[in-house]
Chain A
Amino acid sequence: MEALLAFSRPALDWHALAPELTLLAFGTLITVVDIIWDDRSKQAMPTLAGIGLLATLLPVITLALDGTDRTMFGGAYVIDDFSLVLKALFLISGYVVILMSVDYIRDGDYYENEYYTLMLTSLLGMVMMSSSRDLISVFVALELLSIPAYMLAAWRKGGARSNEAGLKYYLMGVFASAVMLYGMSLVYGLAGSTAFGAIAEELGSLDSSPVAILGILFILIGFAFKVSAVPFHTWAPDTYEGAPTPVTAFLAVASKTAGMVALIQLVFVAFAGRDDVVQPFFWLIAALTMTIGNLIALRQTNIVRLLAYSGVAQGGFMLVPFAVAADAPARAVEAVVIYMAIYAFMNLGAFTVVLAVARKTRSGEIDSYGGLFQYAPGLAVAMTIFLAALAGIPPAGGWFAKFGLFRALLDAGGGWAAGLGVVVAVNTVIAFAYYARILGQMWFQPAPDGDERPVVMTGSLKAALAMTIIATMAFGILPGLVGHFGEVSVLSALGG
């Protein structure tokens, strides 16, 4: 017994942990610099945070070049192509969000250096999430990315709407966590292990156990809250509208992607043998999310709310491949990863334009977009590209994401997949309607108050816009580029 209890130091692969440690180091550095220099460090903070993200990309690249799959902590932490692609996606999205934040946060009357600390911590949770193959790691990663996000949503302390946003997000988030934890406890009770590989073996052998079904459903419902899938989406519009706009972009892109990443790992690794539960659940959720998100988006007059509901609907599109998770697993993972990558850039781009326009008009109403082409043709063209991408019109990137969905559905075949394909097609058409409304407003309507002064663009906003435009167009014109990422990203390690 003594021998069994003897402690052996876990093998640490520092290279594999380098991305997280680098992020952690920069997060700490920002906090310490803030404490020592206080307001004098104000200008340096966004730069420091940006450098931190770029520095974190370095070990991700070296790990990718190295190319070997690494497993640590009994399979709880895995570095494979899938995790590296997603780590890079999170870091780049985070960088764009920081570019968007620079002026917004500096000009606001609620400036705090801690904004960047929290942002980096949240990204740390996401980066960790993409490597977690164990219930406890997934949960800790989820909390690490959510808790800073709750506080960022409430960052405009003086604004009642921002407070509402933070509080709603927090309450719904902890409720979802509680449901998920209950599911996890049931699954752990059944499997006797928290590792995804062991869970897959154990759950696959229990065919009709209601406890297993309940456990799986509770975990999936918990994450459905996080990715704002209907009917668990009610927090999203209020939170998105109330939160500071860069934070909204962060939530709509990075946070949602992180939830999807967790779902991919759960569905394709831990619950791999349970397509009897997983496939009908996702069929229903995906169809509901797409349809209801799109129908409500049609009626919105505020552009941030519209993008929020459009984001809900886009999340529904991302959930589609999960409904054929067992019939065409490789294609399904590929479709979700590609969709996430393209969605990140086109949505971040759209939010950047909203942010830039709001600097002049101080308004989020769609009516205020009248005359945009006259006084800011560049922004109008950029917005057109992003909206076309979101709607799925070639050559902007979005069409390839939708193409991936249909390819996964076709590979799966069968009546249910075909039915879901029809729902996707109908929803794509509905989405055209509201994206076209914004386009019409920008291109054909006069400016509402006749104010045609140009929008003042700052360098960081220009950089964010350039990055997102280039990425969106590149994915559309050279789909092989992102297709390549999708192919390498099939989950390799099944948790040791």
Chain B
Amino acid sequence: MVDTVVFILAAAICLTGALGVILARNPVHSALMLVMTLFGIAVQFVALEAHFLAAVQVIVYAGAIVVLFLFVIMLLGVDRAQNLELSVLPVQKWAALVFAAGSLAILALLVMVVKEPVTGAEAIGGSATGDENVRLLARSLFSDYVYAFELTSLLLVIAVIGAVVLARKPKNVVGVAPEPGNEA
């Protein structure tokens, strides 16, 4: 009973946030509404007893990533409603509608077909309750997945190196005049 109530409340929070993201005219408001969606998902994780994921969801997504969004939005100076009509081909709108409806149909179909856990198989770390979450995750990460885990760290380093190289101005080019209209 409590589970159902929590689920419905959290789902309502998620959906409200998601609608807010696409309906808000101001990008800053969209980003803030995203926090609401992510928070609702964190509640769902808690209800599933995935406490670690819930914490990560709040810290990483609601915290770091949305802050990053806000930074970018404000640095680029697009923190006001924009006229999006200019760049959209009329066909694109219809195609988007068709694909969105199709995705929705597939998801609805899935929900109708899958009424119960399909296999009943347990997660790879075994069943977990409460505090053991973190330990199970850690054990998986540092045993079966240690190789992929370590190489992911390399991936992050490479992403930073590449991003810096691409964003940096070549050092032998001096006094590049800003393109007209870009100064502000």
B161 touches A117 (CB 8 A): yes
- The residues of A that contact B132 with a CB separation of less than 8 Å are 1, 5
B118 touches A140 (CB 8 A): no
Interface residues of chain B: helix, strand, loop or mixed (majority): helix
A118 touches B162 (CB 8 A): yes
Q: Which of B8-16, B51-59, B107-115 contacts A (4 or more CB under 8 A)?
A: B107-115
In the complex, residue of chain B having the shortest beta-carbon distance to the beta carbon of A8: B143
Q: Is A66 an interface residue (CB 8 A)?
A: no
Q: Is A193 an interface residue (CB 8 A)?
A: yes
Q: Which of B74-82, B83-91, B150-158 contacts A (4 or more CB under 8 A)?
A: B150-158
With both chains docked as a complex, state the minimum distance between the C-beta of A4 and any C-beta of chain B, in angstroms: 7
Q: Is B146 an interface residue (CB 8 A)?
A: yes
**Distance between Cα atoms of A425 and B154 in the complex (Å):** 45
A118 touches B110 (CB 8 A): no
With both chains docked as a complex, state the minimum distance between the C-beta of B172 and any C-beta of chain A, in angstroms: 8
**Distance between Cα atoms of A110 and B163 in the complex (Å):** 15
Q: Is A299 an interface residue (CB 8 A)?
A: no
- The residues of A that contact B139 with a CB separation of less than 8 Å are 5, 7
In the complex, residue of chain A having the shortest beta-carbon distance to the beta carbon of B123: A192
Number of interface residues of B (CB under 8 A): 35
A202 touches B121 (CB 8 A): yes
- The residues of A that contact B121 with a CB separation of less than 8 Å are 191-193, 202
**Of B110, B114, B123, B145, which contacts A73 at CB under 8 A?**
B145
Q: Assuming the A-B contacts A76-B148, A210-B113, are A118 and B166 also in contact, with contact meaning beta carbons closer than 8 angstroms in the complex?
A: no
**Distance between Cα atoms of A157 and B140 in the complex (Å):** 41
A191 touches B119 (CB 8 A): yes
Q: Assuming the A-B contacts A7-B142, A190-B119, A211-B114, are A147 and B159 also in contact, with contact meaning beta carbons closer than 8 angstroms in the complex?
A: yes
- The residues of B that contact A209 with a CB separation of less than 8 Å are 113, 118
A157 touches B144 (CB 8 A): no
B143 touches A10 (CB 8 A): yes
**Distance between Cα atoms of A7 and B136 in the complex (Å):** 10
Q: Is B94 an interface residue (CB 8 A)?
A: no
Q: Is B165 an interface residue (CB 8 A)?
A: yes
Q: Assuming the A-B contacts A192-B122, A194-B124, A211-B113, are A144 and B151 also in contact, with contact meaning beta carbons closer than 8 angstroms in the complex?
A: yes
Q: Is B101 an interface residue (CB 8 A)?
A: no
Q: Is A207 an interface residue (CB 8 A)?
A: no
Q: Assuming the A-B contacts A202-B119, A211-B114, are A140 and B124 also in contact, with contact meaning beta carbons closer than 8 angstroms in the complex?
A: no
Q: Is A24 an interface residue (CB 8 A)?
A: yes
With both chains docked as a complex, state the minimum distance between the C-beta of B2 and any C-beta of chain A, in angstroms: 25
A151 touches B165 (CB 8 A): yes
A73 touches B166 (CB 8 A): no
Q: Is A31 an interface residue (CB 8 A)?
A: yes
- The residues of B that contact A121 with a CB separation of less than 8 Å are 154, 158
Q: Is A77 an interface residue (CB 8 A)?
A: yes
**Distance between Cα atoms of A214 and B152 in the complex (Å):** 27
**Distance between Cα atoms of A192 and B144 in the complex (Å):** 15
The 8 A CB mask of A114-148 against B (1 = contact, 0 = none) is 10011001001000100000101101110110011
B165 touches A137 (CB 8 A): no
A136 touches B145 (CB 8 A): yes
- The residues of B that contact A118 with a CB separation of less than 8 Å are 158, 161-162
Q: Is A74 an interface residue (CB 8 A)?
A: yes
In the complex, residue of chain A having the shortest beta-carbon distance to the beta carbon of B121: A192
B161 touches A190 (CB 8 A): no
**Distance between Cα atoms of A282 and B90 in the complex (Å):** 33
The 8 A CB mask of B128-149 against A (1 = contact, 0 = none) is 0000100110010011111110
Q: Is A112 an interface residue (CB 8 A)?
A: yes
In the complex, residue of chain B having the shortest beta-carbon distance to the beta carbon of A189: B118
- The residues of B that contact A449 with a CB separation of less than 8 Å are none
Q: Which residues of A contact B (CB under 8 A)?
A: 1, 4-5, 7-10, 17, 20, 24, 31, 72-74, 76-77, 109-110, 112, 114, 117-118, 121, 124, 128, 134, 136-137, 139-141, 143-144, 147-148, 150-151, 154, 157, 166, 189-194, 202, 206, 209-211, 214
In the complex, 8 of the A-B residue pairs with CB atoms within 8 angstroms, ordered by the A residue number, are A5-B135, A10-B146, A118-B161, A118-B162, A194-B124, A211-B113, A211-B114, A214-B106
Q: Which residues of B contact A (CB under 8 A)?
A: 106, 109-110, 113-114, 118-119, 121-124, 126, 132, 135-136, 139, 142-148, 151-152, 154-155, 158-159, 161-163, 165-166, 170
